[in-house]
Amino acid sequence: MTLIQWFIFFLIIQVVHFLGTWKLYEKAGRKKWEAAIPVYNAIVLMKIIDRPTWWTILLFIPIVNLIMFPVIWVETLRAFGKKSEIDTALAVVTLGFYIYYINYTQNVTYIPNKNAVKKENTLSSLLFAVIVATLVHTYFIQPFTIPSSSLEKSLLIGDFLFVSKFHYGARTPMTAIAAPMVHDSIPVAGVKSYSKWPQLPHFRFPGAQKIKRNDIVVFNWPADTVYRFFDRSGRKADKPIDKKSNYVKRCVGTPGDNLSIKDGIIFIDGKELVLPERAKPQYSYNISIDGQTPINFEYLLKELNITDPAGQTAKDTIFFSALTSESALRLKNTPGITSVTRIIDKTADKRIFPHTKAWSQDNLGPIYIPEEGKTVELNAETLPFYKRIITEYEHNDLKVTGTDIRINGQIAKNYTFKQDYYWMMGDNRHNSEDSRYWGFVPADHIVGKPVFIWMSLDQNIPWSKAIDKIRWERLFTTVGGDGQPVSYFKYFMLALLGYFGYNFYKKRQAKKRA
């Protein structure tokens, strides 16, 4: 929807509100016209229903407002003595239009200061709890689970994270009608959790920092057309940006960078990208053995914490799909292993972005990563890099006739980008679906920054061995930072015990004094 369409929609809502409540405003001692003035009418209504004025703000926050509306309907009825369960149910089921019936047919009496005597309203309390949780989930912190091994060693399958929305700036929801605190489908029911119409324009609050190279970032997968994860029916889905699947990768290229990959090593503007200490890039290896010396591979796999597949491909060769350089060196120094060779992919692969070059997952580039406000030349050579940006991400009409490139009907020799873009990759270089396959990640697809691991479960250990299943050393560890991760779980437990101990002591002292 355009801004004009949203404005018209907003005015229609104001008319609906006025027609359904003006008599109630008068019975509450207010003027009829106060029900008709946008925003002001909401402030007045908060006074009528004896609720804080700041609740007005919640009515204009996407997703949160969908939960607020039923609360306001119920509270309005209660302000005029309609407190029964039937009244509450009718308010919700009729989407608030039950208030029309009260407004025009019932001789109700306004109850000022209705909350002076506290009386629990279960529905309102429950809904307001959901509102608070939705605010936190949408604008501050969101839980996230690591589903794949693309960042293995830094983030493990089974890690449960908190993702900060405020580091890069919280993004307001673009999908106006959606179930709170779920993503693109409702759990158990498996049905779509949102309506594609209407859509709000993209807006992001100022962040505490900008995305830097080597940051681990959660973002909406730009190429997502998955109907539902693990759905094998072949169905496709055209999803709004904020309902595309969440991915987590490492940002290795920022706006304005020229990125190349040579034999699996990333270069930015001609210089090798230096990874942080916690980053453990992994590659595939072939291991040759002499066939005579006994080797306890089961022990080695456990010692090196190798989680990706490995298997014998020939009598004297074992293939490891993912090894760090430290693990490769450990194997190289193992008696019976004659050579350790990193596999470097040089085979041309049309799956590699932009799908027109003889590039591979280990050798590609240079690629210019678009920066907002910067201009690139458009021709048959450069267009494949930026075609999706022009059409899908920045919503232009693109037509190519022979050598002529037309954008929105006009011949175009160059193009100026409207937003920043990023290049995201997994540390598990040969087992990661990332920017090498689908290209740039637009700024409006950024979700947040993983900051904290609060739980970690080993997927290979059953729940019958719950103590062993929990990776205790990863509990309460930070995702970023220098040096190796340190668990703060024991400090948390000590603080918790101290808190309960202090409370217990205070209660005992109070009893003695009594």
Q: Which residues are catalytic?
A: 150, 249
Rounded to whole angstroms, how far apart are CA atoms 69 and 94? 12
Rounded to whole angstroms, how far apart are CA atoms 506 and 512? 10
Alpha helices in 354-425 (DSSP H): 383-388
Q: What b/e readout covers 364-389, taking b as 16+ CB neighbours within 10 angstroms? A: bbebbbbbeeeebebeeebbebbbbb
Tokens coding 440: 């740039």
- Who contacts 413 (Cβ-Cβ below 8 Å, separation ≥6)? 377, 378, 405
If one counts every other C-beta atom within 10 angstroms of the C-beta of residue 282, the result is 28
Could you please report the per-residue DSSP string of 411-452? Answer: E-SEEE-SS-EEEEE-SBTTS--SHHHH--EEGGGEEEEEEE
Specify the DSSP class assigned to residue 269: T
Beta-ladder partners of 376: 415
Tokens coding 412: 């175009």
Q: What are phi and psi of 407, to 5 degrees?
A: -115, 120
- Who contacts 82 (Cβ-Cβ below 8 Å, separation ≥6)? 102, 108
Tokens coding 375: 């201009």
Rounded to whole angstroms, how far apart are CA atoms 283 and 328? 10
Q: 248, 269 in Cβ contact below 8 A?
A: no
Residue where the block lists tokens 């009515």: 59
First to last CA, the chain: 66
Rounded to whole angstroms, how far apart are CA atoms 328 and 286? 10
